[in-house]
Amino acid sequence: MLKINTQSEWIARANEVLPAGGFGNFDPGIIIARGEGSHVWDEDGNEYVDYLIGSGPMLLGHGHPEVIEAVLEQLPKGMTFFANNARGIELAEAIVDAVPCCEQVRFVAAGGEADMYAIRLARAYTGRSKILKFEGGYHGMSAEAQMSLAPSRHVNFPQAVPDSAGIPDSVAEQMLIAPFNDLEAVANLLAEHDDVAAIMVEPLQRIVPPAPGYLQGLRDLCDKHNVLLIFDEIVTGFRLAYGGAQEKYGVAPDICTLGKIIGGGFPLAALGASAEIMQHFDKAKVGEDGWLMQLGTLSGNPVASAAGLKTMEVLRRDGMYDHLREIGAELQQMQMDALTGAGIPHQICGDETLFDIYFTDTDCRDYRSAKHDDPRRNAVYNDSLRAHGIFKAPGKLYPSLAVTQADLDQTRMAVEKAVQAISAA
């Protein structure tokens, strides 16, 4: 008789072979067995409405039939070649058509890898070394990206604080840190430092939106000081709009990075820019000294490209983004209504397509202000949501196009229970 492991047994096995019992991504106390549409099931058979959606890529939901069909069509033809393939070329064409700043793209396997190469590309193009990033901004796992991502202590700007062991002190010397949504701070830093290659920013920083005019202000400062502007659109690309944050906010960077949605649930990411900037990937054009070496075993693999192409095709259909925003708006409103009715201070922070709640009266403008007055409320709230069948990260809620009215009704009930749990705590 086939033995079926319980979730607790899987957790015990994970603790034997995985550091901290997990992959480093999400709560290792839950083992997901499968996903379908807007739902996931754990190994004990518990069913959840999924607002994590793989940390963003499953915008169409799990197992979308058209994406599955595209993948199954490609699989017998080959899974990866370490060579150019038609699906990858078609995906590059679709990205260039969609994303304002992209004339050419280069594929990699993960968003953090794309961000690393974007930094290197900016340095190669400008001949400068320093990168300005924003406190709390997430750009992957490179040494530069791990500076002041989530510092536990506040230091004076622009000092960089490493968030990981194993990073040489010299990396901090090449990084300038500024508060998000503060143009004056950026202007002062650029006036003081003439060796800045690029400003790297999430246009929507985690879930903190840019103040009106802020992104255009960054664009203007970069133009004034001959600094490149990098938009990290790993999360926002093809989510905030089909053309990403560049389309939604009307500001084009010099370089952008893309991931998550463009792979349709498979490992794939990209960086893109003008042909002039991207020529640094072409040794024949820039020579040995200007050449940026980049390769990857799975970069542009045809299975991920086929999944991404079909996902993007579905997203181009009429009304898809309007519907996504309607779902997000209803999710925001039901939580605002319940929390306001209970007299619980809160702020909805983000965009209809990506947001969460801070339990505070303070406006959330940057890393230091975007926090809970009492973190225990957030823990109680999210624990109660999961107990009532809602699966989400503690600091983000990703709506998907697979969410149904029945899902929204279940979520509303779970929100009401979670608010009661906070009130009773």
Say which CATH number the domain at 77 has.
3.40.640.10
**264 and 366, same structural domain?**
no
**226 and 89, same structural domain?**
yes
Which residue intervals of 226-353 are DSSP H helices? Answer: 244-249, 275-278, 283-290, 302-315, 320-341
**384 and 307, same structural domain?**
no
Interhelix angle 405-424/320-341, nearest 10 degrees? 30
Domain-terminating residue out of 270, 299, 315: 315
CB atoms near residue 155 (< 10 Å): 12
Q: Which helix (H) or strand (E) holds 366?
A: none
Q: What is the pLDDT of residues 376-424, one digit of tens each?
A: 999 999 999 999 999 999 999 999 999 999 999 999 999 999 999 999 9
**44 and 86, same structural domain?**
no
**273 and 408, same structural domain?**
no
CATH of the domain at 354: 3.90.1150.10
Which two three-digit tokens encode residue 209?
């939106």
DSSP letter for 196, please.
E
**330 and 198, same structural domain?**
no
**39 and 106, same structural domain?**
no
Residue 376 in any domain: the answer is yes
- Whether residue 4 is predicted with pLDDT greater than 80 in this model: the reply is no
Number of domains in the chain: 2
Mean pLDDT (the chain) is 97
Residue 25 in any domain: the answer is no
What is the pLDDT, as a whole number, of residue 192?
Answer: 97
19-33 average pLDDT score? 95
Residues carrying an active site annotation: 138, 232, 260
**125 and 46, same structural domain?**
no
Q: What is the pLDDT of residues 47-89, one digit of tens each?
A: 999 999 999 999 999 999 999 999 999 999 999 999 999 999 9
Domain-terminating residue out of 315, 349, 365: 315
Query: What pTM was estimated for this model as a whole?
Result: 0.97
DSSP assignments along 148-189, one per residue = SSS-SS---TT---B-STT--HHHHHTEEEE-TT-HHHHHHH
**390 and 308, same structural domain?**
no
Which residue segment(s) compose the domain that 90 sits in? 67-315
Q: Which residue has the tokens 């619980």?
A: 344
**263 and 189, same structural domain?**
yes
Residue 360 in any domain: the answer is yes
Domain-terminating residue out of 315, 336, 364: 315
Closest CA to 145 of 164, 121, 124, 122: 164
**277 and 223, same structural domain?**
yes
**80 and 49, same structural domain?**
no
Residue 131 in any domain: the answer is yes
Residue 23 in any domain: the answer is no
DSSP letter for 53, please.
G
Q: What is the pLDDT of residues 85-143, one digit of tens each?
A: 999 999 999 999 999 999 999 999 999 999 999 999 999 999 999 999 999 999 999 99
